[in-house]
Structure 1
Amino acid sequence: MLGNLTGIHLLVILGIVVLLFGATKLPALAKGIGQSLNIFRNEIHADGSGKPVVDGTAPAAPTSTSPTE
């Protein structure tokens, strides 16, 4: 669906955003989005291991089972 976007489409979308928010509010909007992304990234990597925490628990070690016949 979004694979068909070309340069002209993106320019039209940018123009609409400028009309909606105004040129003076765009820097503040971009700053707010950037700060939100930084907070989001910090919360993802909050455990300190550098790996994303998915559900808040460490993955369980696989248990070995002996084959039964």
Structure 2
Amino acid sequence: MLNGLQPWHLIIVLVVLVLLFGAKRLPDAARSIGKSMKIFKAETKSMQDSDEPATEPEARQLPRATAQPKTTDQQVTDLQRQLDELKKQQGSSADQPQKHVG
């Protein structure tokens, strides 16, 4: 009689897997199989999406910049201001006592 897999069949398969690979390697193997399946699903979905005819021409374009480009002087000023803020933050953290690991 062939009734498919019985619960004891699964138990035997699990025991054989543990004996072959060891209990420490099985979780890592399961994780890697899961990651592989996730990548496989994503790739097959992207292949199916690329097979469909494009109804919208280039819907994923980057938004255009609305602000005017900054001049070099403005960029230097902004960078100097950011540098000053970082120095202030480092100065305030240097005032606090540091723990020494010995």
TM-score by length of 2: 0.44
Structure 1 or 2: larger helix share?
A: 2
| Partner Cα distance (1:3, 1:32) in 2 | 32
Which one has the largest radius of gyration? Answer: 2
| Partner Cα distance (1:10, 1:18) in 2 | 12
1:35 aligns with 2:35: yes
Deviation of 1:58 after TM superposition, in Å, equals: 4.3
Q: What is the SS of the residue equivalent to 1:12?
A: helix
- Which residue identity does 1:12 align to in structure 2? I
Query: Higher relative contact order by CA 8 Å / sep ≥ 6: 1 or 2?
Result: 1
Deviation of 1:57 after TM superposition, in Å, equals: 3.9
Number of positions where the alignment pairs a residue of Structure 1 with one of Structure 2: 51
| Partner Cα distance (1:24, 1:44) in 2 | 32
TM-score by length of 1: 0.63
- Which residue identity does 1:10 align to in structure 2? L
What RMSD, in angstroms, separates the aligned Cα atoms of the two structures? 2.2
- Which residue identity does 1:17 align to in structure 2? L
Match of 1:67 in 2: none
* Identical pairs, percent: 41
Match of 2:4 in 1: 4
Structure 1 alignment gaps of length 5 or more: 48-52, 60-69
1:19 aligns with 2:38: no
